[in-house]
């Protein structure tokens, strides 16, 4: 693509960096001929800092993550008879994670800018810049700070019994998982997307926001669950050629409990949304006062017969089946089918007690055609008084029934020995997932004009972001793999996969991906991680120099140390680009105030032919059309989800290494590592916001260029 001018500007931002420390300790004790014990301790500490997107003084867009994990375990193995062995183990894991902005504890740009009623006013962890969104422009924004401490206690018991052609395995797993976490919508956000003046940047300069939300107070989520599972398995060697694997597993997790005993969900009765609060709730007097004095329209009901927001799912029985059949001495066929269950998890459901007045998170959605909100829509009111007329946000459970996600998986594989340690694998695998866990905004209306917030069925709430389990997914993929295990110093693996993954939501705790709230099928499309084609080659070659090798094997010891141990390693991958979804401003449909997705009309393909693409024109902007402003069309855009495909990946990593042995038990390895060794440009995903058509389909970034590093490793 011709470039008329090049402006080389030094962007004074620091590089990211990683500091990592780890330690492992293990003790083995032989108690006698039938008993052994071992204990182990693991320690990991990691501090990761990413580069900011904007330099000083803003210093925004970067983050610092502090991780610390410790684990201790003890296992006792006891031989009851030569055919019967019992194993018992206990363990404890503690995990701590803190995420902050690069301005945390350094500079508060929010309060000093005159923005009121945010967490930055009381908690230095939340210091940063205001998170501003202007379609088509790079505006200051910071990550959402959070912290979490998890304590997991585990006890495992298993028995292995060998009897004739059968190997039976039985066991169980008991866990208690406790999580203390603080995660919220950061300080809030300010969006300028309604083009009141005809230009969103001009709206920003005037302070005419299309949407504002703030967080002045948030709930600390301290919750726990109990988990129990048991299994039975039989490896049955029917004949020399055929082995069957038969198994069954049962698991159950208790309903989540909160330390404050407050959030029991919500019930929707006609035009009334009623929060359910336990009679044991520690902040019940505050809730009663808030409802009586500030928000009488926020209804609540005290519940005495439940202490958890939902009932445990107790019917999770998982059969498993597998087989291995040896066709001949060189060909083996494997296959299997299994059902697996996935519980929602503590962190997912922890926010069920996240509601006012324990959480103060007002939201204001502006009139789509006339500006009526600025940086502080609440004026000079206090954080709690600001909620008197502002819409609230809640994350309730709407049903006592909350089934586990059920995953069915199946596969068949043929492996052929080609000789000289070379094998060929042909594999097909598939899966079908139901009851996947996510969020779903139930506070919506039919598309149309007007102030959306006041026309919603529950106007006192900006969103009722309830937990839902209606999403589904499926995967089908075929692969071919050629693997050379070590042969004359060379080993390599080449694999190609052709696959398709479809779903109605690709991430845990993801908001609803539908465009039509009355039709969840509009969420169905290629998964966010779907890559149709993927080819990977990895290799290691030990140069044949030195004692015991093909070349220079008669040299003296000193020369041998210089020339032996040299080799190369590398990995190359080619992959289809990941999918993207075109978007437009939600106010063009008027179905929700927030937490919904609006897509434009699709009148063409949108993906350009390979020879027609460039970094300034990767997608066809004319293939999409936005709806008129203000919801006047009374309908929803027809574009599907993830209909565009971003640039592909073409990357090669290469390293040269030298291993030098220092006696029989010690060695030093030197490595020269090159990431993206050919310095091939890896283009980032283009913009897909139709509110900024001038930048739609424009690539504005790249992944890392070639990176070299040297490493030295001592092993003993």
Residue owning tokens 């183990």: 89
- Ranking 267-276, 482-491, 657-666, 682-691 by mean pLDDT, the lowest is 657-666
Tell me the Ramachandran region of residue 583: left when phi exceeds 0, alpha when psi lies from -120 to 50, beta otherwise: beta
State which H helix or E strand residue 253 sits in: strand 242-253
**What is the per-residue DSSP string for 295-344?**
-TTSEEEEESS-SSSS------EEEEEEEEEESSSSEEEEEEEEEEEE--
Report the first-to-last Cα separation within the chain, whole angstroms: 54
* In the predicted structure, residue 170 carries a pLDDT above the cut 90: yes
Q: Are 412 and 334 in contact (CB under 8 A)?
A: yes
| Long-range CB contact pairs, 89-93, < 8 A, 24+ | 89/154, 89/155, 89/156, 90/154, 90/155, 90/156, 91/152, 91/153, 91/154, 91/155, 91/156, 92/151, 92/152, 92/153, 92/154, 93/69, 93/150, 93/151, 93/152, 93/154
SS3 134: coil
Q: What is the mean pLDDT of residues 369-398?
A: 86
Residue owning tokens 């929700």: 592
Dump strand ranges (E) for 184-237. 188-191, 211-214, 221-237
DSSP state of 516: B
- At residue 183 the predicted structure's pLDDT band, cuts being 50, 70 and 90, is confident
Partnered with residue 318 across adjacent β-strands are 249
Q: Which two tokens stand for residue 95?
A: 């995990």
CA distance 464 to 484: 55
Q: How far is CA 612 from CA 609, 619, 625, 646, 692, in A?
A: 5, 9, 21, 14, 21
**pLDDT value at position 73?**
97
Q: Which two tokens stand for residue 37?
A: 């014990």
- Determine what percent of the chain is predicted with pLDDT higher than 90: 66
For the segment 109-133, what is each residue's pLDDT rounded down to a tens digit?
A: 999 999 999 999 888 999 999 999 9
Q: Edge-to-edge, what's the strand order for the sheet holding 263-269?
A: 263-269, 272-278, 299-303
CA distance 677 to 475: 33
* In the predicted structure, residue 624 carries a pLDDT above the cut 90: yes
CA distance 619 to 366: 31
Residue owning tokens 């994350």: 395
Q: Are 593 and 364 in contact (CB under 8 A)?
A: no
State which H helix or E strand residue 500 sits in: strand 490-503
Beta-strand relationship, 17-32 and 35-49:
antiparallel
- At residue 347 the predicted structure's pLDDT band, cuts being 50, 70 and 90, is low
* Cis peptide, bond prior to residue 357, ω within 30 of zero: yes
The pLDDT mean for the chain works out to 91
- At residue 385 the predicted structure's pLDDT band, cuts being 50, 70 and 90, is confident
**pLDDT value at position 621?**
96
* In the predicted structure, residue 502 carries a pLDDT above the cut 90: yes
Beta-strand relationship, 579-580 and 422-441:
unpaired
Q: Name the nearest CA neighbour of 708 among 658, 649, 651, 653.
A: 653
pTM of the model: 0.86
- At residue 9 the predicted structure's pLDDT band, cuts being 50, 70 and 90, is very low
SS3 630: helix
The values of phi and psi at residue 458, to 5°, are -130, 80
**pLDDT value at position 12?**
63
* In the predicted structure, residue 315 carries a pLDDT above the cut 50: yes
- Ranking 31-45, 354-368, 519-533 by mean pLDDT, the lowest is 354-368
**pLDDT value at position 345?**
66
- Determine what percent of the chain is predicted with pLDDT higher than 70: 97
């Amino acid at each position: 693509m011709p470039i008329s001018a090049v402006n080389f500007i030094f962007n004074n931002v620091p590089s990211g960096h990683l500091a990592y420390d780890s330690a492992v300790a293990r003790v083995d004790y032989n108690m006698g001929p039938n008993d052994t014990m071992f204990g182990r301790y693991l320690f990991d500490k990691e501090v990761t800092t990413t580069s900011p997107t904007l330099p000083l003084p803003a210093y925004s867009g970067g983050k610092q993550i502090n991780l610390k994990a410790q684990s201790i375990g003890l296992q006792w193995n006891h031989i009851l008879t030569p055919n019967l062995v019992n194993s018992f183990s206990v363990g404890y894991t503690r995990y701590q994670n803190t995420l902050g902005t690069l301005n945390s504890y350094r500079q508060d740009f929010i309060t000093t800018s005159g923005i009121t009623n945010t967490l930055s006013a009381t908690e230095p962890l939340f210091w940063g810049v205001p998170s501003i969104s202007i379609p088509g422009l790079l505006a200051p924004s910071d990550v959402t700070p959070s912290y979490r401490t998890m304590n997991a206690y585990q006890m495992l018991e298993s028995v292995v019994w060998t009897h004739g052609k059968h190997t039976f395995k039985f066991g169980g797993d008991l866990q208690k998982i406790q999580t203390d976490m603080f995660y919220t919508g950061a300080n809030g956000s300010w969006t300028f997307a309604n083009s009141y003046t005809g230009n969103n940047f001009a709206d920003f300069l005037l302070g005419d926001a299309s949407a504002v939300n703030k967080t002045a107070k948030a709930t600390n989520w301290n919750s726990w669950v109990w988990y129990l599972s048991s299994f039975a398995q039989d490896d049955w060697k029917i004949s020399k050629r055929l082995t069957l694997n038969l198994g069954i597993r049962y698991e159950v997790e208790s309903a989540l409990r909160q330390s404050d005993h407050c959030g029991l969900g919500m019930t929707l009765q006609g035009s009334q949304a009623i929060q359910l609060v336990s009679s044991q709730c520690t902040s019940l007097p505050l809730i009663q006062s808030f409802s009586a004095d500030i928000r009488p329209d926020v209804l609540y009901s005290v519940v005495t017969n439940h202490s958890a927001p939902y009932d445990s799912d107790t019917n999770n029985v998982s059969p498993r089946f597998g087989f291995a059949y040896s066709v001949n001495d060189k060909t083996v066929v494997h296959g299997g089918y299994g059902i697996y269950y996935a519980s929602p998890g503590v962190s997912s459901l922890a926010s069920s007690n996240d509601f006012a007045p324990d959480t103060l998170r007002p939201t204001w959605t502006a009139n789509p055609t006339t500006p009526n909100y600025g940086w502080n829509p609440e004026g000079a009111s206090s954080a709690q008084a600001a909620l008197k007329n502002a819409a609230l946000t809640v994350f309730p459970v709407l049903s006592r029934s909350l089934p586990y996600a059920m995953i069915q998986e199946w596969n068949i594989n043929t492996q052929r020995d080609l000789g000289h340690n070379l094998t060929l694998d042909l594999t097909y695998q598939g899966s079908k997932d139901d009851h996947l866990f996510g969020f779903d905004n139930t506070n919506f209306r039919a598309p149309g004009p007007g102030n959306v917030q006041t026309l919603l069925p529950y106007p006192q709430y900006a969103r009722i972001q309830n937990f839902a389990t209606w999403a589904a997914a499926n995967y089908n993929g075929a692969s071919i793999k050629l693997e050379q295990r070590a042969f004359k110093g060379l080993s390599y693996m080449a694999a190609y996969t052709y696959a398709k993954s479809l779903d109605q939501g690709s991430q845990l705790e993801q908001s609803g991906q539908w465009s039509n709230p009355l039709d969840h099928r509009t969420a169905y499309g290629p998964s966010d991680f779907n890559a149709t084609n993927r080819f990977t080659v990895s290799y290691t070659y030990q140069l044949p120099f030195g004692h015991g090798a093909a070349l220079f094997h008669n040299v003296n010891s000193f020369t041998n140390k210089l020339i032996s141990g040299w080799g190369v390693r590398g990995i190359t991958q080619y992959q289809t680009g990941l999918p993207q979804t075109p978007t437009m401003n939600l106010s063009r449909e008027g179905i929700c105030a927030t937490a919904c997705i609006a897509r434009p009309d699709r009148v063409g393909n949108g993906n350009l032919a390979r020879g027609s693409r460039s970094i300034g024109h990767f997608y066809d902007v004319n293939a999409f059309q936005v709806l008129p402003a203000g919801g006047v069309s009374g309908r929803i855009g027809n574009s599907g989800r993830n209909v565009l495909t971003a640039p592909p990946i073409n990357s090669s990593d290469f390293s040269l290494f030298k291993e030098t042995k220092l006696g029989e038990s010690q060695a030093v390895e030197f490595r020269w590592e090159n990431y993206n060794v050919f310095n091939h440009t890896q283009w980032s995903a283009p913009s897909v916001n139709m509110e900024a058509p001038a930048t739609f389909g424009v690539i504005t970034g790249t992944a890392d260029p070639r990176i070299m590093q040297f490493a030295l490793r001592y092993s003993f």
